[in-house]
Amino acid sequence: MGPGVGEAGSGEAATALRQAGAAEGSITEIGGGAVGIRAGKRWEVLAWTPRGAASPKGITGASSEKAGGTLITGPADHANAVALRALIPSLRPRLLGGATSAGVGDRLGIATPGHVAAFRANPGIVPVLAQQSARELARTGRTFRDVVDAATFGALAAGWREGFGADADHLKTIADIDAGIDAGCTMFTADPVELVPHLPADAPQAAIDGAFAAVPWAALEDDPAAFMTRYPARLDLDCGPLELPPAALHAAAARFGAAVVQVAKMYRHLAAARPAGSFEFEVAVDEIEHRTTPIDHVYLATELHRLGARWESFAPRFVGDFEKGIDYVGDKAEFAADVEIHAAIARHLGDYKLSVHSGSDKFSIYDAVAKATRGRVHLKTSGTSYLVALQTIAAADPELMRRIWRVALDAYTTARASYHVSATAAGAPSPEEASPQVLAGLLDDPHTREILHVTYGAVLHGDGASGAGDPRLGDDLRAAVWTRREAYWAALEVHIGRHLRPFSGAGGGPVTKGATR
């Protein structure tokens, strides 16, 4: 834990914080004093020191006399989060390394204790407790600082001492990277999807040739002739040979040439801004409109390596459909073959991890992913924890759920445009006429579940046509979940545990081949 820092014992400081209502696992002795956290109307940071001693550095709040010493009761704000991370090393976001890992988004800023419980019950997986995409932040009105701070307070409250990662996810711009750096994120996920033209495997040759001619060769520090002589005829992977036909490489460059330029630019900016070994990079192309072929993967890895980029994980667009908040849609055998060859390519070209995005609720394919990757995998979930919050509300407060459903239906047409979903609002229950039983069942139907999944922005921050019509909805939802937080955390332990169980003990370990990091 660091000099002078340790878990609470039966000493004077720990006793004083217990009497003040601090969560038992949160109490941490520092020198002659202690810090902790308690749940009131929101989290409250506590620090106690013997009379006359200096308070823990950086903790601010109201002072009072307590048990022969001074008790500080402070807000769960950014300044106190920074102070706690300085005082308690395990609260500082850490690197994931080659270990099996999973990210769990928290759109409400309340979920961390439930997430921690799920990781405790499924050991062997490094958690990313602070994970949100730039898109989610824009829709919820939050910042990367808010996300990291919420994970800090939640991890302290849960007594989590094993550390956690912080992922600035689906970054599009240099400004996004800088915001993640400012917040103390340790993982940065570059997403160049807007630069990838729609060129599926059956695209007309003329379209492929046109896109190839438009590749920014100078920015790639390359030229077409050199590119076409750089690749071998095949790769001998551990799952069998992969042929690399010139026509397929030509198409891969047409699809991803501009994206490689952007990702390399983002990596170089990050590497210049952060010391070596202080961050991890992920490349994500999972939100393109067509499958990432094995040869696309080879092209992306080869060209990014050539330009000096190093990464910990890579997220392809797998075969089949990864819709939000529901199970995998597609041929399971075809998916198993696809993830196997992508995992083999990752082992061959740098032994980096595969990252499975939109990983929420894909229970039918987790075993195939764990087997193919041999534990070299990062799973990302986000919106499913928000859905568990809605499930908690639906069972206890049908009128609040009715308000949520009204806003969600109104916002769905706009919200769905940037997400991969197939749900239709046609035939969906009317908010005005739905019974409490029908409202409670909205999370069980794939169509209504998807509608609720992607309309969180309108519900939480008025990001939609109806948001102005219910301006207090986000605050009311957060307050209702906080009031029922113990039930919420218990439900999260079960639900997120279902995601983690197939990967628990799957292995991973340090990177042993190549130079991706």
pLDDT for 383:
94
Confidence of residue 470 (pLDDT cuts 50, 70, 90): confident
**Residues 70-81: pLDDT tens digits?**
999 999 999 999
- Domain borders along the chain are 5-90, 96-200+257-384+498-503, 396-489
| Per-residue pLDDT at 11 exceeds 90 | no
Q: Which two tokens stand for residue 339?
A: 């993830």
Tell me: the pLDDT tens digits for 426-463?
989 999 999 999 999 999 999 999 999 999 999 999 86
Q: What is the pLDDT of residues 97-145, one digit of tens each?
A: 999 999 999 999 999 999 999 999 999 999 999 999 999 999 999 999 9
Which of 29, 169, 222, 351 is catalytic? The answer is 169
169 noted as active-site residue: yes
Q: Which of 16-20, 181-185, 381-385, 468-472 has the lowest mean pLDDT?
A: 468-472
The strand pair at 187-190 and 280-284 is best described as: parallel
User: Is 60 exceeded by the pLDDT of residue 236?
Assistant: yes
Q: What is the mean pLDDT of the chain?
A: 94
Cβ atoms of residues 406 and 431 within 8 Å:
yes
For residue range 299-318, list pLDDT tens digits in order.
Answer: 999 999 999 999 999 999 99
Among candidate residues 106, 282, 351, 361, the one labeled active-site is 282
> Would the pLDDT of 4 be above 80?
no
**Predicted local distance difference test score (pLDDT) of residue 247:** 97
Which residues contact residue 284 at a Cβ distance below 8 angstroms, ignoring those fewer than 6 apart? 170, 189, 190, 191, 314, 315, 355, 357
Looking at the DSSP assignment, which residues form a beta bridge with residue 38?
A: 44
Banded model confidence at residue 156, pLDDT cuts 50, 70, 90: very high
pLDDT score, position 418: 83
More confident residue, 55 or 224: 224
Res 462: pLDDT: 85
Buried b (16+ CB within 10 A) or exposed e, 352-376: bbbbbbbbbbbeebbebbbebbebb
Give first-to-last CA distance, the chain, whole Å.
27
Q: Report whether pLDDT(7) > 90.
A: no
Task: Judge whether 410 counts as a catalytic residue.
Answer: no
Residue 516: per-residue pLDDT: 40
Percent of the chain with pLDDT over 70: 94
pLDDT computed for residue 9 by the predictor: 64
User: Which CATH architecture group holds 96-200+257-384+498-503?
Assistant: Alpha-Beta Barrel (3.20)
